[in-house]
Amino acid sequence: DTEVTQTPKHLVMGMTNKKSLKCEQHMGHRAMYWYKQKAKKPPELMFVYSYEKLSINESVPSRFSPECPNSSLLNLHLHALQPEDSALYLCASSPLDRMDYGYTFGSGTRLTVV
């Protein structure tokens, strides 16, 4: 399995809703990432997990709450989002012991906040 699987693919949520994005990989990668991408912009890093521990939080608002239950799963819990949070949310993974390996991205969750 050489894929990163993200669910759901599309999500529309109200500003008072609570929802979760899910990400799964079975490549044995010990680093997992959440990126946010707005239209016509590059991906922006949100969080990094290394060996299931949060290692980088790019000053993301607390309405975004990441969770890494095990080495294969990564969640992003959403609560009280704003319309400007509408974006493509990308999960990625990479090995931590190989220098010649890039990131493997999932196909993303396209989030619309109404």
Please give the residue ranges that form the binding site for other proteins (CB under 8 A): 31, 40-45, 48, 50, 55-56, 88, 90, 94, 96, 99-108
Alpha-helical (H) ranges within 6-65 are none
Strands 109-113 and 10-13: parallel
Q: Nearest 5°: phi and psi at 84?
A: -70, -10
Beta carbon of residue 54, minimum distance to other proteins (angstroms, whole number): 12
For tokens 């010990």, name the residue: 30
Would you say 20 or 104 has its CB closer to other proteins?
104
Would you say 18 or 41 has its CB closer to other proteins?
41
66 class by beta-carbon count within 10 Å (0-12 exposed, 13-18 middle, 19+ buried)? buried
Would you say 44 or 67 has its CB closer to other proteins?
44
Beta carbon of residue 14, minimum distance to other proteins (angstroms, whole number): 25
Beta carbon of residue 42, minimum distance to other proteins (angstroms, whole number): 4
